[in-house]
Chain A
């Protein structure tokens, strides 16, 4: 009897081991074909998914705790206020083809991404000033990297840098991440297989990743993606729509997760480019702080959260989500819905409401158009609600939806628009928003690439952004960033509308999934995810 029990126990343990070793195929969807498999040229979300699953990085941001953790680098030290970083690599690192991973590969990768000929979006985060980066390999597992100027949040930037093999043979280059690309069928799927030389081990000593393969089906239709999820064909859906969230929560409440306000926000801004081909009265309105503030008070953010997002959003006060606890200015509150206060602000600038129409001091009826991208139901509904809210204070709004290329051309090149509503994906660190708030930034939406700050407050913001970028102490950076948030809240260059919640759906078959706020919400711990049979 004892021997039978022993055999059964051994078999169970064996099976557990086997199961842990080959825990099925993880399946989820990409919303489009990846544009590239070169990790340093990633500029779209689908390619970024593949990079995240295959990349071996030196330092990994734990999306759950939002703390940096050692990955390929066992330790690191930032010095000279972010100008230099020293790495000590883990021992016996290998790429997926068995080739040893050394400091030489790390140095080569750094030089590659900073090569001007490559135009790597990853490299842009490290370009802090003119001059070349210097790397010094002191041992096969140690190197020093020195930049021409301090890099803001230096260690965090290495979360995006996939270490490549310097001596890779032609064809699919080897990777150091948990998975490697095995097959790609255009328009259909990308298949990744487990990297047998992956460096990480589970706490109990088992090799990681648990999943044997990852299949990324290419599916643009959100409804079909939800259908596949309900049929058990995929294991999770990230960035879930509010409507689909409600549908899935009715059917299977345990499968949906709302992690609270995401780091993204939706904003409405007015065109303040002096050379914009819009009527002069509108330029004058949009340049008025009181006018912009009035618009902000006239919009009912609570209704937008309730009606458009089905309660899965929070009114936004500024460019930082309240979920970003480290950097959020807790003193800021979203503007409350108050048409009366909006009219007072407008009256202070000489605007008068007669009947159902608001007139400016010169007697021109106040009306303008708001553009957004077509085919997005949420944006269209939001604008329809804003249209009604502004009608209450006598402002007539025309809603114009354009396809993305036409829209981008208008807001970045021709500036032939009045106002625009678009979402912004906010990162964790303030430096991710440099191009948004620096007056010379290309993404300074209301007036991109200003030759010089147009107003005193914009000059102040410029100074504060440079201060926070040059500091290494979070406390000092927070003081500057808090002040930036206060200024843009008061000056309203953009009307901050809502922070949508980060929502996902996770199949009960998927083990060890702990959805986080930061992208990638569900599969941030890709090497720990396992699929039950």
Chain B
């Protein structure tokens, strides 16, 4: 059973990588080509997932949307997790006044209405920026703004390691400072960091969907998982075109597969 699940996880990730690297292998048509005579068509041989309300192939848009969102959300999640590790790690490791100051800074950061910063950045961007670049900038900002809550958790974990036996033993053996932190603490932080990464990945995809309401998401005709997920808020879509939930299924499968494979490798160690 475990083997089956592992194989399934690998297959899902392989398909995701293929979609990211060579979407034309999986698709036949363009994601923006409108077939206005076949709008909201049901799944068929020609359109495996049917068409959307402008007659565009849903399957192609799902592949390209997954490519866009997963690549950018992964990058943003890595960025936010990296910043959280740095900030939370320093605070937890040094402790004392530094830790208190950093915690204050984190709390202030969490409290600010960053939505207006995103709106301001969008306003500053020239309209000639391509939809892909505009979306990349949005995800970059999400990554730069999404580190604060994970940083608190990282800080708490690092703090608990400071007085742990293995760190004490390492200190007794002469290890100290950055070397001690990198060689002893950081590897033990992996489960927490991985958990934060997995939580951030779908969070950023969904944030892009919500920001789309304010014009901060992807611009047409470029699809994203977020823009495809926004369709689910319409009752008429869920009622008459239930296959529209597939973007949520794809996101779930990718995140679950990543989680399964990493957990397996953690368990083997």
Stretch in B63-71, B138-146, B215-223 with 4+ CB within 8 Å of A = B215-223
Closest to A401 in B: B215
Q: Which of A227, A383, A401 contacts B235 (CB 8 A)?
A: A227
Are A307 and B220 touching (Cβ within 8 A)?
A: no
Stretch in B32-40, B95-103, B199-207 with 4+ CB within 8 Å of A = B32-40
Q: How far is the CA of A315 from the CA of B5 in the complex (A)?
A: 55
Are B36 and A374 touching (Cβ within 8 A)?
A: no
Are B36 and A306 touching (Cβ within 8 A)?
A: yes
Are B127 and A398 touching (Cβ within 8 A)?
A: yes
Stretch in A29-37, A147-155, A384-392 with 4+ CB within 8 Å of B = A384-392
Mask, B92-131, CB within 8 Å of A = 1, is 0000000000000000000000000001001100011011
**Inside 8 A of B214's CB, which chain A residues have their CB?**
374-375, 403
Given contacts A371-B127, A398-B128, contact A247 B236 (CB under 8 A): yes
**A212 at the B interface (CB under 8 A):** no
**Inside 8 A of B213's CB, which chain A residues have their CB?**
374-375, 403
Q: How far is the CA of A375 from the CA of B233 in the complex (A)?
A: 12
**B54 at the A interface (CB under 8 A):** yes
**Inside 8 A of B128's CB, which chain A residues have their CB?**
367, 369, 398
Q: How far is the CA of A402 from the CA of B131 in the complex (A)?
A: 14
Closest to B234 in A: A223
Chain A interface mostly helix, strand, loop or mixed?
helix
**B212 at the A interface (CB under 8 A):** yes
Are A244 and B34 touching (Cβ within 8 A)?
A: no
**A406 at the B interface (CB under 8 A):** yes
**A400 at the B interface (CB under 8 A):** yes
Q: How far is the CB of B118 from chain A (nearest CB, A)?
A: 11
A-B contact count (CB 8 A): 75
**A341 at the B interface (CB under 8 A):** no
Given contacts A303-B36, A369-B128, A375-B213, contact A247 B219 (CB under 8 A): no
Q: How far is the CB of B207 from chain A (nearest CB, A)?
A: 15
**A85 at the B interface (CB under 8 A):** no
Are A384 and B54 touching (Cβ within 8 A)?
A: yes
Q: Which of B222-258 contact A (CB under 8 A)?
A: 233-236, 239-240
**A417 at the B interface (CB under 8 A):** yes
Given contacts A398-B219, A401-B219, contact A223 B127 (CB under 8 A): no
Are A369 and B54 touching (Cβ within 8 A)?
A: no
**A333 at the B interface (CB under 8 A):** no
Q: How far is the CB of A521 from chain B (nearest CB, A)?
A: 21
Q: How far is the CB of A370 from chain B (nearest CB, A)?
A: 9
**Inside 8 A of B220's CB, which chain A residues have their CB?**
380, 383-384, 387, 399
**A226 at the B interface (CB under 8 A):** yes
Are A406 and B236 touching (Cβ within 8 A)?
A: no
Closest to B221 in A: A384
Closest to A405 in B: B119
Are B233 and A223 touching (Cβ within 8 A)?
A: yes
**Inside 8 A of A401's CB, which chain B residues have their CB?**
215, 219
Are B236 and A385 touching (Cβ within 8 A)?
A: no
Q: How far is the CA of A178 from the CA of B130 in the complex (A)?
A: 55
**Number of residues on chain A facing chain B (CB within 8 A):** 33
Are B119 and A403 touching (Cβ within 8 A)?
A: yes
Q: How far is the CA of A400 from the CA of B219 in the complex (A)?
A: 7
Given contacts A381-B53, A384-B220, A387-B221, contact A418 B36 (CB under 8 A): no
Q: How far is the CB of B108 from chain A (nearest CB, A)?
A: 26
Mask, A348-386, CB within 8 Å of B = 1, is 000000000000000000010101001100001101110
**Inside 8 A of B215's CB, which chain A residues have their CB?**
374-375, 400-403, 406
Are B235 and A223 touching (Cβ within 8 A)?
A: yes
**A243 at the B interface (CB under 8 A):** yes
Q: How far is the CB of A367 from chain B (nearest CB, A)?
A: 8
Q: How far is the CA of A303 from the CA of B220 in the complex (A)?
A: 18
Are B54 and A381 touching (Cβ within 8 A)?
A: yes
Q: How far is the CA of A384 from the CA of B55 in the complex (A)?
A: 12
**Inside 8 A of B123's CB, which chain A residues have their CB?**
406
Q: Which of A392-426 contact B (CB under 8 A)?
A: 398-403, 406, 417-418
Q: Which of B34, B53, B219, B233 contacts A388 (CB 8 A)?
A: B34
Are B55 and A399 touching (Cβ within 8 A)?
A: no
Are B34 and A385 touching (Cβ within 8 A)?
A: yes
Most chain B Cβ neighbours within 10 Å, of A387, A388, A417: A388
Closest to B131 in A: A398
Q: Which of B36, B212, B219, B239 contacts A307 (CB 8 A)?
A: B36
Q: How far is the CB of B130 from chain A (nearest CB, A)?
A: 8
Closest to A369 in B: B127
Q: How far is the CA of A173 from the CA of B127 in the complex (A)?
A: 50
Are A417 and B127 touching (Cβ within 8 A)?
A: yes
Q: Which of A307, A367, A383, A403 contacts B55 (CB 8 A)?
A: A307
**Inside 8 A of B235's CB, which chain A residues have their CB?**
223-224, 226-227, 247
**Inside 8 A of B122's CB, which chain A residues have their CB?**
402, 406
Q: How far is the CB of B214 from chain A (nearest CB, A)?
A: 5
Are B236 and A400 touching (Cβ within 8 A)?
A: no
Q: How far is the CA of A402 from the CA of B211 in the complex (A)?
A: 11
Closest to A278 in B: B127
Q: How far is the CB of B223 from chain A (nearest CB, A)?
A: 11
Q: How far is the CB of B131 from chain A (nearest CB, A)?
A: 7
**Inside 8 A of A247's CB, which chain B residues have their CB?**
235-236, 239-240
**Inside 8 A of A223's CB, which chain B residues have their CB?**
233-236
Closest to B235 in A: A223
Are A244 and B54 touching (Cβ within 8 A)?
A: no
Closest to A230 in B: B235
**Inside 8 A of B130's CB, which chain A residues have their CB?**
398
**Inside 8 A of A380's CB, which chain B residues have their CB?**
220
Are B32 and A388 touching (Cβ within 8 A)?
A: yes
Q: How far is the CA of A227 from the CA of B233 in the complex (A)?
A: 13
Mask, A192-224, CB within 8 Å of B = 1, is 000000000000000000000000000000011
**Inside 8 A of B239's CB, which chain A residues have their CB?**
247
Are A243 and B54 touching (Cβ within 8 A)?
A: no
**Inside 8 A of B219's CB, which chain A residues have their CB?**
398-401
Q: Which of B54-88 contact A (CB under 8 A)?
A: 54-55
**Inside 8 A of A224's CB, which chain B residues have their CB?**
235
Closest to A248 in B: B236
Closest to B212 in A: A374
**Inside 8 A of A306's CB, which chain B residues have their CB?**
36
Q: How far is the CB of A240 from chain B (nearest CB, A)?
A: 12
Q: How far is the CB of A313 from chain B (nearest CB, A)?
A: 15
**Inside 8 A of B212's CB, which chain A residues have their CB?**
374-375
**Inside 8 A of A371's CB, which chain B residues have their CB?**
127
Q: Please name 5 further chain A to chain B contacts, defined as beta carbons within 8 Å, in addition to the given A227-B235, A371-B127, A406-B123, sorted by A numbering.
A: A367-B128, A384-B54, A387-B221, A406-B215, A417-B127
Q: Can you list 20 contacts pairing A with B, beta carbon distance less than 8 Å? A: A247-B235, A247-B240, A306-B36, A307-B39, A308-B53, A369-B127, A374-B212, A374-B215, A384-B220, A385-B34, A385-B36, A400-B215, A402-B122, A403-B119, A403-B213, A403-B214, A403-B215, A406-B119, A406-B123, A417-B127
Q: Which are the 8 A-B pairs with shortest beta-carbon distances?
A: A374-B215, A369-B127, A401-B215, A223-B235, A402-B215, A375-B213, A384-B220, A403-B214
